[in-house]
Amino acid sequence: MSSLPYQGRHYAGRHRQSRRARLPRAFSSSFVLPTTAAAALVVTATGATMAESAPAPLTLDLSGQQTALARTEQVADDAMVTDLAQRRQASSMQTAALQGRVEAQQRAARDAKRKAAAAAAARAKAAREGKRWVKPIRTGTRTSGFGWRWGKTHDGLDVGAPTGTPLYAMSRGTVISAGFVSSFGGKVEIRYWDGTVSWYAHMSKISVSEGQSVMPGDRVGSVGNTGNSFGSHLHIEIHPTGGDNPVNPYPWLQKKGILVG
Ligand SMILES: [Zn+2]
3-state secondary structure string across 195-256: CCEEEEEEECEECCCCCCEECCCCEEEECECCCCCCCCEEEEEEECCCCCCCECHHHHHHHH
Residues in Cβ contact with 174 at an 8 Å cutoff, skipping those fewer than 6 apart? 190, 191, 211, 212, 213, 214
Instruction: Tell which residue, 184, 197, 212, 201, has the closest CA to residue 247.
Output: 197
Domain ranges in the chain are 1-128, 141-256
Number of H helices, E strands in the chain: 8, 12
Average pLDDT score, the chain: 82
Distance CA 100, CA 105 (A): 9
Q: According to DSSP H, which parts of 54-63 are helical? A: 57-60
Instruction: Tell which residue, 173, 102, 159, 164, has the closest CA to residue 131.
Output: 173
Q: pLDDT by residue (tens digit) across 87-144? A: 899 988 999 999 999 999 999 999 999 999 999 998 888 778 899 999 999 999 999 8
Distance CA 97, CA 103 (A): 10
Cα 113 to middle of ligand 1, angstroms: 46
Distance CA 134, CA 120 (A): 18
Contact (Cβ atoms closer than 8 angstroms) between residue 145 and residue 250 = yes
- Arithmetic mean of pLDDT, 31-44: 46
By 3-state DSSP, what share of the chain in percent is helix, strand and coil, each rounded to 5?
A: 45, 20, 35
* Cα Rg of the chain, angstroms: 50
Distance CA 35, CA 55 (A): 8
Percent of the chain with pLDDT over 70: 76
Cα 154 to middle of ligand 1, angstroms: 6
* Range 141-256 has CATH code 1.20.1200.10: no
- In the predicted model, is pLDDT for residue 7 greater than 60? no
Cα 235 to middle of ligand 1, angstroms: 4
Is the model more confident about 131 or about 19?
131
Cα 152 to middle of ligand 1, angstroms: 12
Residues in Cβ contact with 129 at an 8 Å cutoff, skipping those fewer than 6 apart? 172, 193
Given CA atoms 171, 179, 177, 260 in this order, what sign does their dihedral have?
A: positive
Cα 105 to middle of ligand 1, angstroms: 55
Cα 178 to middle of ligand 1, angstroms: 18
Cα 36 to middle of ligand 1, angstroms: 130
